[in-house]
Chains A and B, each alone.
Chain A
């Protein structure tokens, strides 16, 4: 070392009026990636400390390091930081999607085994442990009825409540309502189930049933309503608040009464968001097991009447089949899980399409 002044870094110094900079070719990055994987594989298998997962993780880290160094040397430090952060953000996305893909794949691969007509057309009535047949017809009926009734209860109630909070509510009463809606959001589903069990099944249902308490799908719908209501109120409230004030004023200025402005201007403008909120609530309710178990009781037979006797649901069916000592039960549980996910997916897509169909085409 004869001199203390550091030589200019290897990165090209751009003169002030040159706007062009050197770029790494994509092939170089691919090369770095392959090299990183190779080195990582050599280390992992050479020392015998792990399997392919470790190779990928270590390879990714080596790639980050290698790409950063090479890019810094060729393109300069700003580009190098840019590349590193881009790579990190992309990997975060991959990490987030992996569980989803894994769940979807597991459901599909294990669910197709029993994906036959028999599954959708029979119940579990008189199906013994050695019987390979049996299906989820009763559970699908239960889920549709319970979630359907719960939706019928909560959508008008929730939207009306949100309208009150946004358009009319002032002062302490509105604050109190908002507070209790927030508290409701945090109610565990089992508590909602217990509440309906104590209130509806044990106290109210005997009145309609000759003094005998009865399980019912309707009780399950009530418990699900307790869970759905806060979701719908809060999401609808947010969506209504997003509707710009000038739209309301424009309508008032035409001499349109407030209630009509809300029904014809505010709600249609917020509709896509409200539909999304409702679908989230429905998706959550469809997957609830505990309240249904407590107040609808389950059951193996088909029961179309939601107001009397026990009913099952898909979530409860999965829970039951997963714990049944029969070699055929797990297959049924997986197919039921696949059915449940597909059901919610179809409902969501249908709702989105419906919400959009009435909107104007651009």
Chain B
């Protein structure tokens, strides 16, 4: 199910501003990969170019090639919506749809893509909510609004919503930065569970989190403000945090950055 993501010399722009330059890395299936680095170094930009969310912003474009299982997602003939169905995304702030109930939120991706059969939807909703460790908390109030849940529950709802469309890769853009430690723990546990099925790429500012959840870690950095972000080092997480080969990585993870 899970797929390999391969980036080759990916360069992304916001208008004339070059945000990242020549990023090349391969993410293996059924692993968790953490992207770390200082603010503004292009981690999120890179993450968003993996499912073509980068180009949603006016003037934004991507160069280079990005493939999942050898299919170039920036090919002319590729359907953007199909890419995004294959590569799901969880955002920094929980963003449940405010006009929808919990149930409708979970199956939004299916419903809006044409699935109507009630039995299929019910089954998919329970499966996704169970996978997101949220089923027991919400099973009695599926018809209540999704926005009425707590922040951590909302974020798990958004994860359930993402995995309900059965993507192959799940991107997470600082999914825990708006959450308390207990909800964070719940989501980290969830990532362990999910990596049996999905390839997970997570952006995080929390290095303990990167060390806890990821198999591999990529360190991004910039020379100075205004320069494009670059991939400095990409290796097994254990190696990055115990014996990095780059001086910059070591400075960053030991807190001597800059």
Question: Judging by beta carbons under 8 Å apart, are B53 and A249 in contact?
Answer: yes
Chain B residues 66-109 with CB under 8 Å of chain A are 81-86, 88-89, 91, 93, 95, 97-101, 108-109
Question: Judging by beta carbons under 8 Å apart, are A269 and B165 in contact?
Answer: no
Report the minimal beta-carbon distance from B94 to chain A, rounded to whole angstroms.
9
Report the separation of the CA atoms of residues A161 and B85 in the bound assembly, to the nearest whole angstrom: 30
Question: Judging by beta carbons under 8 Å apart, are A254 and B84 in contact?
Answer: yes
Question: Judging by beta carbons under 8 Å apart, are B91 and A246 in contact?
Answer: yes
Q: Does A362 make an interface contact (CB < 8 A)?
A: yes
Q: Does B58 make an interface contact (CB < 8 A)?
A: yes
Q: Does B161 make an interface contact (CB < 8 A)?
A: yes
Report the minimal beta-carbon distance from A254 to chain B, rounded to whole angstroms.
3
Question: Judging by beta carbons under 8 Å apart, are A250 and B158 in contact?
Answer: yes
Q: Does A46 make an interface contact (CB < 8 A)?
A: no
Q: Does B177 make an interface contact (CB < 8 A)?
A: no
Q: Does A255 make an interface contact (CB < 8 A)?
A: yes
- Residue interface mask A243-276, B partner, CB < 8 A = 1: 0101111111111110011001100110100000
Q: Does B162 make an interface contact (CB < 8 A)?
A: yes
Beyond A250-B91, A253-B89, whether A264 also contacts B112 by CB under 8 A is yes
Contacts of A268 in B (CB 8 A): 99
Contacts of A360 in B (CB 8 A): 99-101, 143-145
Q: Does A359 make an interface contact (CB < 8 A)?
A: yes
Question: Judging by beta carbons under 8 Å apart, are B162 and A254 in contact?
Answer: yes
Question: Judging by beta carbons under 8 Å apart, are B85 and A254 in contact?
Answer: yes
Beyond A254-B161, A257-B81, whether A249 also contacts B56 by CB under 8 A is yes
Question: Judging by beta carbons under 8 Å apart, are B99 and A255 in contact?
Answer: no
Report the separation of the CA atoms of residues A360 and B105 in the bound assembly, to the nearest whole angstrom: 12
Question: Judging by beta carbons under 8 Å apart, are A255 and B109 in contact?
Answer: yes
Q: By CB atoms of chain A within 10 A, which of B95, B99, B143, B158 has the most?
A: B99
Question: Judging by beta carbons under 8 Å apart, are A252 and B58 in contact?
Answer: no
Question: Judging by beta carbons under 8 Å apart, are B95 and A250 in contact?
Answer: yes
Beyond A246-B91, A247-B95, A265-B97, whether A253 also contacts B53 by CB under 8 A is yes
Report the minimal beta-carbon distance from B73 to chain A, rounded to whole angstroms.
13
Q: Does B214 make an interface contact (CB < 8 A)?
A: no
- Count of B interface residues, CB-CB < 8 Å: 32
Tell me the nearest residue of chain B to A270, going by C-beta. Answer: B99
Report the separation of the CA atoms of residues A360 and B97 in the bound assembly, to the nearest whole angstrom: 12
Q: Does A130 make an interface contact (CB < 8 A)?
A: no
Q: Which of A252, A269, A359 contacts B56 (CB 8 A)?
A: A252
Chain A residues 168-219 with CB under 8 Å of chain B are 170
Question: Judging by beta carbons under 8 Å apart, are B84 and A253 in contact?
Answer: yes
Report the separation of the CA atoms of residues A264 and B58 in the bound assembly, to the nearest whole angstrom: 22
Contacts of A265 in B (CB 8 A): 97, 99
Contacts of A246 in B (CB 8 A): 91, 93, 95
Report the minimal beta-carbon distance from A60 to chain B, rounded to whole angstroms.
45
Contacts of A261 in B (CB 8 A): 112
Beyond A254-B108, A255-B113, A260-B112, whether A244 also contacts B145 by CB under 8 A is no
Q: Which of B91, B100, B158, B165 contacts A255 (CB 8 A)?
A: B165
Question: Judging by beta carbons under 8 Å apart, are B91 and A251 in contact?
Answer: no
Chain B residues 148-175 with CB under 8 Å of chain A are 148, 158, 161-162, 165
Q: Which of B84, B95, B148 contacts A244 (CB 8 A)?
A: B95
Report the separation of the CA atoms of residues A360 and B149 in the bound assembly, to the nearest whole angstrom: 14
Report the separation of the CA atoms of residues A271 and B85 in the bound assembly, to the nearest whole angstrom: 27
Beyond A249-B53, A250-B158, A362-B148, whether A256 also contacts B95 by CB under 8 A is no
Question: Judging by beta carbons under 8 Å apart, are B144 and A251 in contact?
Answer: no
Contacts of B82 in A (CB 8 A): 255
- Residue interface mask B215-251, A partner, CB < 8 A = 1: 0000000000000000000000000000000000000
Report the separation of the CA atoms of residues A291 and B91 in the bound assembly, to the nearest whole angstrom: 52
Report the minimal beta-carbon distance from A180 to chain B, rounded to whole angstroms.
23
Contacts of B204 in A (CB 8 A): none
Contacts of B98 in A (CB 8 A): 247, 269
Contacts of A249 in B (CB 8 A): 53, 56, 89, 91, 95
Question: Judging by beta carbons under 8 Å apart, are B53 and A252 in contact?
Answer: yes
Report the separation of the CA atoms of residues A249 and B53 in the bound assembly, to the nearest whole angstrom: 8
Question: Judging by beta carbons under 8 Å apart, are B101 and A255 in contact?
Answer: no
Contacts of B161 in A (CB 8 A): 250, 254
Question: Judging by beta carbons under 8 Å apart, are B93 and A253 in contact?
Answer: no
Tell me the nearest residue of chain B to A271, going by C-beta. Answer: B99
Beyond A269-B97, A269-B99, A360-B144, whether A253 also contacts B112 by CB under 8 A is no
Q: Does B31 make an interface contact (CB < 8 A)?
A: no
Q: Does B11 make an interface contact (CB < 8 A)?
A: no
Q: By CB atoms of chain B within 10 A, which of A249, A253, A362 has the most?
A: A253
Report the minimal beta-carbon distance from B231 to chain A, rounded to whole angstroms.
23
Q: Does B51 make an interface contact (CB < 8 A)?
A: yes
Contacts of B108 in A (CB 8 A): 251, 254, 256
Report the separation of the CA atoms of residues A252 and B109 in the bound assembly, to the nearest whole angstrom: 9
Contacts of B145 in A (CB 8 A): 360, 362
Closest 10 CB pairs of A and B: A255-B85, A254-B109, A253-B89, A246-B95, A255-B84, A268-B99, A360-B145, A250-B95, A256-B112, A255-B81
Return 17 A-B CB contacts under 8 Å, by A number.
A246-B93, A249-B89, A249-B95, A252-B56, A253-B51, A253-B84, A254-B85, A254-B88, A254-B109, A254-B113, A255-B165, A256-B109, A265-B97, A359-B99, A360-B99, A360-B145, A362-B145
Interface set of B (CB-CB < 8 Å, partner A): 51, 53, 56, 58, 81-86, 88-89, 91, 93, 95, 97-101, 108-109, 112-113, 143-145, 148, 158, 161-162, 165
- Having A254-B113, A268-B99, one finds 6 other A-B pairs with CB under 8 Å, namely A244-B95, A250-B161, A255-B109, A265-B97, A269-B98, A362-B144
